[in-house]
Amino acid sequence: MQTILISASKQSLLLRENNQQIAEYSISTSKYGLGEANGSYQTPRGRHTVRAMIGEELPLNAVLVGRRYTGEIYTADLSEQFPKRDWVLTRIIWLSGCEKGINRLGQRDSMRRYIYIHGTPDSEPMGVPASHGCIRMRNVEVIDLYNRISHGCAVIISD
């Protein structure tokens, strides 16, 4: 059984399989802290599951908007053209909350908030909170994680 453990205080993501750690990655959670409310731009806590995995065949630095590949590859020049875009790159691992009233349903629904684990530009910092609610990873590392897990993988986000 696979489990992803995300620690906001350590800004790390551990992948465990059968109670053994098999990978660890530096991440970036929300710059607004932890919280579950819709519109908060915070990273939600608690038990989640991988609802969907998007981008399996996409190239490194592929740009995704609305979970769709735009045909663009991220570059510094593209970033200058769209300075306000929150870059979602390479892969999307879409999370769904498992705890009714905490991170599932109503105004506290992680899936409806579009909470992902996804790639981000290499220029963005890791190891410090900087996202708008999602869990950001280096592009090569999100590919590695994506290739190791499957739909339904358990995800636990803690402070």
- State what percent of residues in the chain have pLDDT above 90: 98
CATH H superfamily, domain 2-158: L,D-transpeptidase catalytic domain-like (2.40.440.10)
* Residue 48 in this model has a pLDDT that exceeds 90: yes
Using 50, 70 and 90 to split pLDDT, how confident is the model at 94? Answer: very high
Question: What letter does residue 132 receive in the DSSP assignment?
Answer: S
User: Cα 2 to the chain's mean position, in Å?
Assistant: 17
Per the listing, tokens 């349903």 go with 105
The full set of domain ranges for the chain reads 2-158
103-149 tens-digit pLDDT: 999 999 999 999 999 999 999 999 999 999 999 999 999 999 999 99
Q: Tokens representing 29?
A: 């959670």
Q: Please name the residues in contact with 68: beta carbons below 8 A apart, sequence gap of 6 or more.
A: none
Q: Mean per-residue pLDDT for 97-101?
A: 96
How many other C-beta atoms can be found within 10 angstroms of the C-beta atom of residue 37?
Answer: 12
**Residue 159 near residue 8 (C-beta atoms within 8 A):** yes
Partners of 138 in the β-ladder = 120
Look up the pTM and report it: 0.96
